Structure 1
Amino acid sequence: MPYTPQHKEQTRQRILQAAAKLFCSHGFDRVTLTQIMKKANMTHGALYAHFPGKSSLYEAAMQFATSNAFWARDDKQTENKETHLKALVARYLSWTKNDKDHPSPLEFLVTDAAHKEEKVRQAYQACFDSLVERLATILKKRGSEEADVLAEETVVSLVGTVAIARSFTQPMQRDFIKRAQARIIHRLNSGMNRPLTYTS
């Protein structure tokens, strides 16, 4: 008896969810297809019924992660954009407390941005562009005249801060992140007509 379209889609979603969690936590090179299928509790046959290989799965998993990451969900659910923007900065700089079911791909995949495979680089770039666009939209609504530049600058600061902080030990890590958050909020304030209020 052939599988229904609904069953096929559910299978694809399970694979994407497992792949996104692993790729976002460890990067492209440190994750194997065997690990992904074990996490999804499925066979390799199910994988190849949906994806021709690891690069294609990575590309789809990053799209899945981007559409389900906290900044995408919160923007739809939060009417107060100021609260959303402050929360986004805080959550990016508190990656150990982030939503484990919907990890943010940019937080961990800095090394994938320079990967030799074009599909991997393109998938990372798409995630980056998505967050920049999301931030720029929020900043424009807040009256920023340099929204596009400020959004890109903010994303670069967030990703760079996390990448560096992960190599530090406590309490240096905590202090470094606290200083970075203050700098990022200060820079956002300087580019908006209605500044945010920074709270430590």
Structure 2
Amino acid sequence: MRGRAGFTVNDPLALNEITPGFAAGTSLPIPAEAVRLSYLVSALNAPVNGRNATVMLALTQGGGWHLAAVRDGDTDAAYAGRATVGTLVFNEPQIRGWYQLKLTTVEPLNDQARQGLDGRSSVSLSDYQKLLKARYADKLPGSEYDTTGLSGGYGPVATTENTSSSTPALVGGSSAALALAGGVFALRRRRNTGA
């Protein structure tokens, strides 16, 4: 019998994504309506088979969190960890753009986000909404683009309102996935010995 593949994860961080209403231009350009929590993410505290991986947790209907995915690399956790007191970090999943929101100013954190802001170093949340509306308004769920099968339409990978404990775990091509395939997947949350 194979040994147990055990490792610990770092403290989970919020992975926020833009909301469909904000992208459609139907929500107000305020932080509470622009982004929402999609997942908690946590990078493994040590590589598995020489590769980094990130665990993604989704909200279970009725409360609590469940394993939703294991992604290769630690990009999600690295960017989510850049949030500070008074700022919010969020993802525009369609372009893999990462942004930081400071009050009502959006700043890019990676090249994809800079391209998403047309090369600008920052824009107002209202101007960012206009850019999103131009990119996605005709691709939202129910649009012709969506219903004709040209794409999956716009939408976060998961929502906190309608996920359930029966949602299957999605495992990407990471070394952590190999550990899953090889036997028992043991997650132990690292105890925080600090404050």
TM-score (normalised: structure 2): 0.23
TM-score (normalised: structure 1): 0.23
Greater per-residue helix proportion: 1
Higher relative contact order (CA 8 A, sep 6+): 2
